[in-house]
Amino acid sequence: MKLVGNINAILKVKGTQVWSVPPGAMVYEAIQLMSERNVGALLVMDGDRLEGLVSERDYTRKVVLRGRSSKETAVRDIISKPVITVTPDHTVEDCMRLMTDKRVRHLPVMDKNRVVGVVSIGDLVNWIISVQSIAIDQLEHYISGQYPA
């Protein structure tokens, strides 16, 4: 099945808001921001430069399970690197395959070495559901004779 659309189309609907923390921030601050913004991951940015990504998964595996303190551990010590990124031109299908193969849930979107957004597995699933819903609606209209000529 071909999934119509690229990441640029998703960003136009979702928006390009990006939440980030600097590498020197404490993990506790990052978890607080994730909670406040209701997101599962943050970009780790040194100025405009993407350094990595920190997720709830990183927190549980690299802080909690190792008995570390989130208030004394810097984000730089637990970030996921290298960061797997995509461009606005990547297709939804490409991103789904990449997320599955690399076992990641968030992909920063880069355009000419500049972060322009982030897509999550949830964003992609919502897009697919919308595309399928539109296709079903069009087929129903076609079958019932309501399809425009």
Q: What pLDDT is recorded for position 128?
A: 84
pLDDT in tens, 60-100: 999 999 999 999 999 999 998 889 999 999 999 999 999 99
pLDDT at 145: 73
Q: Which residues, including other chains, have CB under 8 Å from residue 76's CB and lie 6 or more apart?
A: 23, 24, 44, 51, 52
Q: Give me the helices (H) in the chain, please.
A: 7-14, 27-37, 56-59, 92-102, 121-143
pLDDT score at 2: 47
Residue 5: per-residue pLDDT: 80
The parts of the chain modelled with pLDDT lower than 70 are: 1-4, 132-138, 141, 147-149
Q: Report which DSSP code applies to 83.
A: P
